[in-house]
Amino acid sequence: MREERLTVSKIRSGTVIDHIPAGKALQVLKILGITGSEGYRTAVLMNVESRKLGRKDIVKIEHKKLGGDETNLVALIAPTATINIVEDYEIVEKRRVRLPERIRRLIRCPNPTCITRSSREDLVSSFKLVSRDPVVLQCEYCGTMIRGEELEALLIR
Ligand code: CTP
Ligand code: ZN
């Protein structure tokens, strides 16, 4: 029996973020700060068949080559993701995402009395990675711990 599939063409150059957990593609774009208004031709595939994951999402961004630091943030949302850098239709680099040891700016501390939440202080948030699996981060200012599941609600962009 022929399997049904949604075909999206290969890209000539850019980045393919593959093996994103099903339903998380939009959050991946959000964490990368890609809104659509930058003008990159972008394909978002959601809930497509995957041998490894059952269902998965894929994001293809033409002409944008994501650097290492940038893509590691994807691990906050999609630890299973693979980053494929494409040139002349060929994959020239394939890497897994890995959470950085320290994450600045991107996450709002959930503690309302944390100094990083004060409008009078010009401080950016800073979280230290205390555990990768499960993901646990700790605010470097007030010590508040946050778990992976809480992250989505705390993302700043
Ligand atoms: N891809 C693309 N344009 C290209 C080359 C690849 O859009 N010019 C996409 C493929 O459609 C696929 C992803 O990039 O979604 C990874 O391609 P490839 O490594 O060929 O696939 P797999 O071997 O299945 O990847 P993996 O081993 O990571 O599962
Ligand atoms: Zn804090």
Burial category of 73 from C-beta neighbours within 10 Å (exposed 0-12, middle 13-18, buried 19 and up):
buried
Whole-number Å distance, alpha carbon 143 to ligand 1 midpoint, is 41
pLDDT in tens, 36-91: 999 999 999 999 998 887 999 999 999 999 987 788 889 988 989 999 999 999 99
Whole-number Å distance, alpha carbon 96 to ligand 1 midpoint, is 13
Scanning the chain, the segments in alpha helix (DSSP H) are: 25-31, 68-72, 151-154
Q: Which atom of ligand 1 is nearest to the CA of 90?
A: 8
Query: Has residue 1 got a pLDDT over 50?
Result: no
> Using alpha carbons only, how large is the chain's radius of gyration in Å?
17
Report the C-alpha gap between 23 and 20 in whole angstroms: 8
Reported pTM: 0.85
Q: From atom 15 of ligand 1, which residue's Cα is the shortest distance away?
A: 18
Query: Has residue 5 got a pLDDT over 80?
Result: no
**Interacting residues of 69 by C-beta distance below 8 A, sequence separation 6+:** 100
| Nearest ligand by distance to the CA of 42 | 1
